[in-house]
Amino acid sequence: MLEPRKSIGALCLECYVEMNKLLCIPERVEFEYCKYCGSIRWGHQWISGGEVSEASLVFTKKFLENRIKPCLNTVRRYELVDLHPLTVPSWRTVYSATYSVLIEGVDETVRQEYSLEVYARPTICPSCKNARGGDYNVLLQIRGISPTELARTLRRLLDSSTQIASSIVDVVEHSNGVDFLLLDRGSATKIIRELKKYYNANIKITSEDVGVTSRGRLRRRTVISLSLLSSRTRRQSRAKS
C-alpha cells in the first residue's frame, strides 16, 4: 500500500493516484486482422499475428507500449508491467493493463490499472488479396449512414457471427456509407435484416459481369444497394422483430 505521508500538493500520493488518470488510454480500440493469413495492420505495415486470439494480444501489447501518452505533466516515466485478458480472447477482448509510473517529486514508482476493449476488424491483407485476385461474389452497398454509426449499429452482429467475419473480403468506407465485399449472399442478407430492425430502407438488387470461369462460363457478381431512409420508431422496431 502507498504510504500516506507522501504527498503531491494538497493530496497524499494514494489519493492523487486514485483521483487522477495518469496515462491517456482509450476505453476501446480496434485493429485490422487478415482472416486468411492472420496478419495484423500496424501503421502502414502488415505484421505477423497468428490466430485471432494471439493477434489481439500482439496488437494490444504493441499499442500499449508505443502509442500511449501521459495525461498529466507530473508523469516522468511509465512502463507496461502486466497485460492479461479479462474475457476469452476472440474478435472482441477486454484486457487489464497495469503500468508502473514515476511521478515528479516521488522517489518510487506507483501502479495504475486500466481496462481496454479491443476489437479485431476482419479484412484481407494486400498479399492475400493479390493471391486471391481480390475475388468476391457479393457487393453490398449501404448508403444513408456514416461509417461510424454503421459500425455501432452492426457491432453486436459482426462480433457474434463467424459466418459474416469469414465472408468479408474487404470494407470500403465512404462519407455516406460503406461497401461490403462479401463471399456469400447469406452474409449480406443477415446484415440487411439487422439494419432493417432500425431503419426504413429501399433495396435494389442487380448483377454485373466480372469475367469468365476456368470452364469459359460467364461469371456474375450480385450487387445489392441498400438505401437507409429514416430511423424506425420503437413500435416499428418491436413489430419488425
pTM over 0.95: no
Name beta bridge partners: 230.
200
What are the start-end ranges of the E strands in 26-176? Answer: 28-34, 40-42, 45-47, 69-70, 75-85, 92-103, 110-123, 138-143, 168-174
Whether the Cβ atoms of residue 115 and residue 198 lie closer than 8 Å to each other? no
pLDDT per residue as tens, the chain (241 positions): 444 446 666 678 778 888 888 999 999 999 999 887 889 999 888 898 989 999 999 999 999 999 999 999 889 999 999 999 999 988 999 999 999 999 988 888 899 999 999 999 988 887 777 556 667 889 999 999 999 999 999 988 888 777 787 788 888 999 899 999 988 899 999 999 999 999 999 999 999 887 776 567 777 889 999 999 988 765 455 555 4
- List Cβ<8 Å contacts ≥24 apart for 211-218: none
